[in-house]
Protein backbone atom coordinates (compact mmCIF):
# COMPACT_ATOMS: atom_id res chain seq x y z
CA UNK A 1 0.00 0.00 0.00
CA UNK A 2 2.81 2.37 0.93
CA UNK A 3 4.77 1.35 -2.18
CA UNK A 4 1.80 2.07 -4.39
CA UNK A 5 1.41 5.57 -2.94
CA UNK A 6 5.12 6.24 -3.42
CA UNK A 7 4.95 5.12 -7.05
CA UNK A 8 1.92 7.33 -7.67
CA UNK A 9 3.76 10.32 -6.18
CA UNK A 10 6.78 9.72 -8.37
CA UNK A 11 4.61 9.57 -11.49
CA UNK A 12 3.02 12.90 -10.57
CA UNK A 13 6.44 14.55 -10.11
CA UNK A 14 7.68 13.10 -13.40
CA UNK A 15 4.53 14.31 -15.15
CA UNK A 16 4.97 17.81 -13.69
CA UNK A 17 8.64 17.98 -14.70
CA UNK A 18 7.84 16.71 -18.16
CA UNK A 19 4.97 19.16 -18.53
CA UNK A 20 7.18 22.01 -17.39
CA UNK A 21 9.89 21.06 -19.87
CA UNK A 22 7.37 20.65 -22.67
CA UNK A 23 5.78 23.95 -21.80
CA UNK A 24 9.10 25.77 -21.80
CA UNK A 25 10.13 24.20 -25.08
CA UNK A 26 6.84 24.97 -26.77
CA UNK A 27 6.90 28.51 -25.42
CA UNK A 28 10.34 29.04 -26.94
CA UNK A 29 9.28 27.52 -30.23
CA UNK A 30 6.13 29.62 -30.25
CA UNK A 31 8.06 32.82 -29.59
CA UNK A 32 10.51 31.93 -32.36
CA UNK A 33 7.64 31.25 -34.73
CA UNK A 34 5.91 34.46 -33.73
CA UNK A 35 9.08 36.46 -34.40
CA UNK A 36 9.51 34.69 -37.71
CA UNK A 37 5.94 35.41 -38.72
CA UNK A 38 6.38 39.01 -37.66
CA UNK A 39 9.56 39.26 -39.74
CA UNK A 40 7.79 37.63 -42.67
CA UNK A 41 4.97 40.13 -42.42
CA UNK A 42 7.44 42.99 -42.16
CA UNK A 43 9.36 41.69 -45.16
CA UNK A 44 6.18 41.34 -47.20
CA UNK A 45 5.13 44.86 -46.27
CA UNK A 46 8.56 46.26 -47.12
CA UNK A 47 8.60 44.47 -50.46
CA UNK A 48 5.15 45.81 -51.16
CA UNK A 49 6.19 49.31 -50.07
CA UNK A 50 9.32 49.10 -52.23
CA UNK A 51 7.23 48.14 -55.23
CA UNK A 52 4.89 51.06 -54.61
CA UNK A 53 7.82 53.46 -54.17
CA UNK A 54 9.46 52.21 -57.38
CA UNK A 55 6.17 52.55 -59.24
CA UNK A 56 5.67 56.10 -57.96
CA UNK A 57 9.25 57.09 -58.87
CA UNK A 58 8.97 55.53 -62.33
CA UNK A 59 5.80 57.49 -62.85
CA UNK A 60 7.41 60.73 -61.69
CA UNK A 61 10.60 60.21 -63.71
CA UNK A 62 8.78 59.19 -66.88
CA UNK A 63 6.34 62.10 -66.40
CA UNK A 64 3.39 59.86 -67.11
CA UNK A 65 -0.12 61.14 -66.51
CA UNK A 66 -1.84 60.82 -64.17
CA UNK A 67 0.95 60.79 -61.62
CA UNK A 68 -0.69 61.89 -58.33
CA UNK A 69 1.34 63.48 -55.54
CA UNK A 70 -0.28 61.30 -52.88
CA UNK A 71 -2.34 58.10 -52.98
CA UNK A 72 -3.54 55.38 -50.64
CA UNK A 73 -3.30 51.75 -51.70
CA UNK A 74 -4.78 48.69 -49.98
CA UNK A 75 -2.63 45.57 -50.37
CA UNK A 76 -3.20 42.30 -48.47
CA UNK A 77 -5.03 44.02 -45.69
CA UNK A 78 -2.49 46.82 -45.22
CA UNK A 79 -3.10 50.42 -46.21
CA UNK A 80 -0.07 52.13 -47.76
CA UNK A 81 0.14 55.88 -48.19
CA UNK A 82 2.36 56.86 -51.12
CA UNK A 83 3.49 60.46 -51.53
CA UNK A 84 5.80 61.92 -54.19
CA UNK A 85 7.69 65.14 -53.74
CA UNK A 86 9.65 67.07 -56.38
CA UNK A 87 12.35 69.50 -55.34
CA UNK A 88 14.28 71.57 -57.92
CA UNK A 89 18.05 71.22 -57.55
CA UNK A 90 18.84 73.67 -60.33
CA UNK A 91 17.30 74.84 -63.58
CA UNK A 92 17.90 71.51 -65.33
CA UNK A 93 17.68 69.04 -62.44
CA UNK A 94 14.91 67.96 -60.08
CA UNK A 95 15.16 65.66 -57.06
CA UNK A 96 12.22 63.27 -56.80
CA UNK A 97 11.39 61.56 -53.52
CA UNK A 98 8.78 58.85 -52.92
CA UNK A 99 7.69 58.09 -49.36
CA UNK A 100 5.56 55.07 -48.46
CA UNK A 101 4.00 54.79 -44.99
CA UNK A 102 1.96 51.97 -43.50
CA UNK A 103 0.66 51.11 -40.01
CA UNK A 104 2.84 48.80 -37.97
CA UNK A 105 0.49 47.86 -35.12
CA UNK A 106 -0.76 49.23 -31.84
CA UNK A 107 2.55 49.02 -29.97
CA UNK A 108 4.85 50.34 -32.68
CA UNK A 109 5.28 53.56 -34.61
CA UNK A 110 4.27 53.78 -38.24
CA UNK A 111 6.61 52.18 -40.74
CA UNK A 112 8.07 54.40 -43.45
CA UNK A 113 10.22 53.91 -46.53
CA UNK A 114 11.83 56.76 -48.48
CA UNK A 115 13.41 56.40 -51.91
CA UNK A 116 14.78 59.17 -54.05
CA UNK A 117 16.35 59.83 -57.41
CA UNK A 118 16.84 62.71 -59.79
CA UNK A 119 15.46 63.62 -63.20
CA UNK A 120 17.01 66.00 -65.72
CA UNK A 121 15.27 68.37 -68.07
CA UNK A 122 17.03 66.85 -71.08
CA UNK A 123 14.57 66.62 -73.95
CA UNK A 124 14.00 63.48 -75.93
CA UNK A 125 14.03 63.48 -79.72
CA UNK A 126 11.00 63.42 -81.97
CA UNK A 127 12.44 60.70 -84.20
CA UNK A 128 12.70 57.03 -83.43
CA UNK A 129 15.89 55.86 -85.10
CA UNK A 130 19.27 55.86 -83.42
CA UNK A 131 22.74 56.23 -84.93
Q: Which residues are at the interface with another protein (CB under 8 A)?
A: 3, 6-7, 10-11, 14-15, 17-18, 21-22, 24-26, 28-30, 32-33, 35-37, 39-40, 43, 46-47, 50, 54, 57, 61, 89-90, 92-93, 95, 115-131
Q: Which is nearer to another protein, 40 or 69 (CB)?
A: 40
Min dist. Cβ of residue 74 to another protein (A): 21
Contact 51, 76 (CB under 8 A): no
Q: How far apart are CA 98 and CA 100, in angstroms?
A: 7
Q: Which is nearer to another protein, 55 or 71 (CB)?
A: 55
At residue 74, φ and ψ (nearest 5 deg) are -100, 120
Q: Which is nearer to another protein, 37 or 69 (CB)?
A: 37
Min dist. Cβ of residue 98 to another protein (A): 9
Q: How far apart are CA 54 and CA 91, in angstroms?
A: 25
Q: Which is nearer to another protein, 36 or 69 (CB)?
A: 36
Q: What angle do CA 107, 46, 56 make, to 5 degrees?
A: 120
Q: Are strands 93-102 and 111-120 parallel, antiparallel or unpaired?
A: antiparallel
Min dist. Cβ of residue 115 to another protein (A): 6
User: Residue 100, Cα to own-chain centre: how many angstroms?
Assistant: 10
Min dist. Cβ of residue 68 to another protein (A): 20
Q: How far apart are CA 97 and CA 117, in angstroms?
A: 7
Amino acid sequence: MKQARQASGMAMVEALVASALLGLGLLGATRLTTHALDAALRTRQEVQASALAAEALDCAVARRDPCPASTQRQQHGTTYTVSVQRTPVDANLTAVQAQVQWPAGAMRPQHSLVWQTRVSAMPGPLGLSSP
